[in-house]
C-alpha cells in the first residue's frame, strides 16, 4: 500500500537529543505527514563524525536517544521507517558518484557550511569529511528518490544542491532535456525527482542565549548549549526559561523593553497558542508594564504543556532500549531494500552495470 505514496525523507545528526528547534523546524511536520507520504527518517551517524570523530561512544548513545525521541514525539514505526545511515551502504556509494556532479567552488559557497564553521568554532582545521557531508545529504535524499523533505531553514542550501544534482544526473545519464520543468523530470525519463522542501512554521528557532558580539541570535542547536529538549522534564524547562536571555536594557519591570530579536517573545510567538495574550503582553512589555517573570512563567506553562506528553511517552520507550533497537533494525532493512534498488538503477543509467 505505502509504496504508492510519494516518498518523504528527513533526518537528524546524532549529536545530542531533539530540541524545540527540531520540533517546529521539521519533526512536527514529519509527524503530521505520516499518512500522506511513505516516510523515511534517518539518523545521520556518519555525519556526526564530521565534528566529533573522537567521541564514538557519545555518537552511539545519541543514535538511540534520537530514535527514542522520534518514537516519543509521535513517529509511528508502523507507518514510517526509521533507520541508521551507516548501515545503509548504498548511500555512501552514491555519495561518491554525486560528488562528481558538484563543482568544488559551488560547495564552498554553501552559506550553511560557512555558518557552521563559524558557529561551531571549527576554525580552519575541520576535516575534509565535513565538506563532504552536504554531498552525503544529497545521497540521503536521492537514494530514496524522495519527493519532499521537511527541514529547517539552514537546510535550504543543501536542498538546492540536491535539486541541482538530481537535474544534472537526469540530464547526463537519463537523457532528460535541460528545459524540462522540475516537476516533470521523472515523467520525462529521469531517475531522480527534483525534490521539494517543506519548511516548518518556524524556519529557524533561536536558542535560549543572547546575541553574539555581532548582534545575531544563534539558532537553537544541539551543539551550542542553548536548547530546550523534547526530553526535558518540567523542572528543567522552568530552569532554562527562567535563565533565558531577555532585553538587558530592561533593568526593572517598569522599564520598557524591546520585543524584537528577544528570544522570550520569539518563543511566545512560536509556541503560545493564545495569540491574543501574546499581542497584548508584547504591547505591555514595550511600555514597561509587564515583568519578565510574568511572561517567563506563561512561557513555562506553554512549553511544559507541549513537552510533558512527549516526556512521559519517552520514559516508556527509554525503559525498553531493546524495542527501540528492534525498530531501527527493521527500518534499516527496509531502507536497504529501497536504496539498493536506486543504486542498481543509477548504475544502469551510468552504464556501470556489468554482471
- Where does this chain bind ligand ATP (CB under 6 A)? 12-13, 15, 21-22, 24-26, 151-152, 154-155, 200, 204-205, 219-223
DSSP readout, 132-166? HHHHHHHHHHHTTT-SEEEE-GGGHHHHHHHHHHH
What is the distance between the alpha carbons of residues 3 and 174, in angstroms, rounded to a whole number? 23
Q: Which long-range contacts (CB under 8 A, 24 or more apart) does 261-267 make?
A: 261/211, 261/217, 263/206, 263/207, 263/208, 263/209, 263/210, 263/217, 264/292, 264/295, 264/296, 264/299, 265/295, 266/205, 266/206, 266/217, 267/299, 267/303
Give backbone dihedrals phi and psi of 208, rounded to 5 degrees, phi first. -80, -10
- Please identify, using beta-carbon distances, which residue of 56 and 103 lies nearer to ligand ATP: 56
Cα–Cα distances in angstroms (integers) from residue 119 to residues 123, 155, 161, 264, 283, in the given order: 10, 15, 22, 21, 33
- The least CB distance from residue 155 to ligand ATP, in Å, is 4
- The least CB distance from residue 204 to ligand ATP, in Å, is 5
State the CB neighbour count (10 A cutoff) for residue 233.
15
Name the H helices within 75-195.
89-99, 104-108, 111-119, 128-142, 156-174
- Please identify, using beta-carbon distances, which residue of 25 and 77 lies nearer to ligand ATP: 25
| C-alpha of 349 from chain center | 31
- Please identify, using beta-carbon distances, which residue of 24 and 63 lies nearer to ligand ATP: 24
- Please identify, using beta-carbon distances, which residue of 77 and 200 lies nearer to ligand ATP: 200
- The least CB distance from residue 89 to ligand ATP, in Å, is 22
- The least CB distance from residue 226 to ligand ATP, in Å, is 9
What is the distance between the alpha carbons of residues 257 and 281, in angstroms, rounded to a whole number? 11
- The least CB distance from residue 15 to ligand ATP, in Å, is 3
- The least CB distance from residue 269 to ligand ATP, in Å, is 13
- Please identify, using beta-carbon distances, which residue of 180 and 270 lies nearer to ligand ATP: 270
Strand partners, 229: 19
Which residue's CB atom is positioned nearest to ligand ATP? 25
- The least CB distance from residue 202 to ligand ATP, in Å, is 6
- Please identify, using beta-carbon distances, which residue of 223 and 336 lies nearer to ligand ATP: 223
- Please identify, using beta-carbon distances, which residue of 12 and 232 lies nearer to ligand ATP: 12
Amino acid at each position: 500500500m505505502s509504496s504508492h505514496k510519494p516518498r518523504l525523507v528527513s533526518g537528524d545528526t546524532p549529536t545530542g537529543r531533539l530540541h524545540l528547534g527540531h520540533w517546529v523546524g521539521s519533526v512536527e511536520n514529519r509527524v503530521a505527514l505520516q499518512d500522506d507520504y511513505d516516510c523515511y527518517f534517518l539518523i545521520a551517524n556518519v555525519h556526526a563524525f564530521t565534528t566529533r570523530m573522537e567521541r564514538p561512544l557519545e555518537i552511539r548513545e545519541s543514535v538511540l536517544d534520537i530514535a527514542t525521541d522520534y518514537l516519543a514525539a509521535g513517529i509511528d514505526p508502523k507507518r514510517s521507517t526509521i533507520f541508521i545511515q551507516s548501515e545503509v551502504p548504498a548511500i555512501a556509494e552514491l555519495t561518491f558518484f554525486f560528488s562528481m556532479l558538484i563543482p568544488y567552488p559551488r560547495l564552498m559557497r554553501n552559506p550553511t557550511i560557512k555558518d557552521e564553521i563559524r558557529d561551531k568554532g571549527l576554525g580552519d582545521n575541520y576535516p575534509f569529511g565535513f565538506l563532504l557531508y552536504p554531498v552525503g545529504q544529497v545521497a540521503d535524499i536521492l537514494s530514496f528518490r524522495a519527493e519532499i523533505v521537511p527541514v529547517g531553514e539552514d537546510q535550504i542550501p543543501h536542498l538546492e544542491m540536491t535539486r541541482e544534482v538530481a537535474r544534472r544526473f537526469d540530464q547526463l545519464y537519463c537523457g532528460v532535456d535541460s528545459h524540462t520543468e522540475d516537476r516533470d523530470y521523472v515523467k520525462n525519463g529521469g531517475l531522480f525527482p527534483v525534490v521539494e522542501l517543506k519548511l516548518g512554521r518556524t524556519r529557524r528557532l533561536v536558542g535560549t542565549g543572547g546575541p553574539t558580539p555581532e548582534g545575531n541570535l544563534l539558532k537553537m542547536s544541539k551543539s551550542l548549549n542553548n536548547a530546550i529538549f523534547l526530553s526535558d522534564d518540567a523542572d528543567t524547562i522552568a530552569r532554562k526559561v527562567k535563565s533565558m536571555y531577555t532585553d538587558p536594557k530592561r533593568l526593572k519591570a517598569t522599564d520598557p523593553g524591546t520585543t524584537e530579536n528577544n528570544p522570550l517573545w520569539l518563543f511566545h510567538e512560536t509556541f503560545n497558542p493564545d495569540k491574543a495574550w501574546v499581542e497584548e503582553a508584547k504591547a505591555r512589555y514595550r511600555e514597561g508594564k509587564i515583568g519578565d517573570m510574568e511572561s517567563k512563567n506563561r512561557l513555562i506553562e506553554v512549553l511544559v504543556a507541549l513537552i510533558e506528553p512527549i516526556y512521559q511517552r519517552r520514559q516508556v520507550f527509554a525503559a525498553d532500549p531493546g524495542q527501540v533497537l528492534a525498530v531501527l533494525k527493521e527500518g534499516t532493512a527496509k531502507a536497504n531494500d529501497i536504496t539498493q534498488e536506486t543504486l542498481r538503477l543509477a548504475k544502469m543509467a551510468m552504464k556501470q552495470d556489468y554482471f
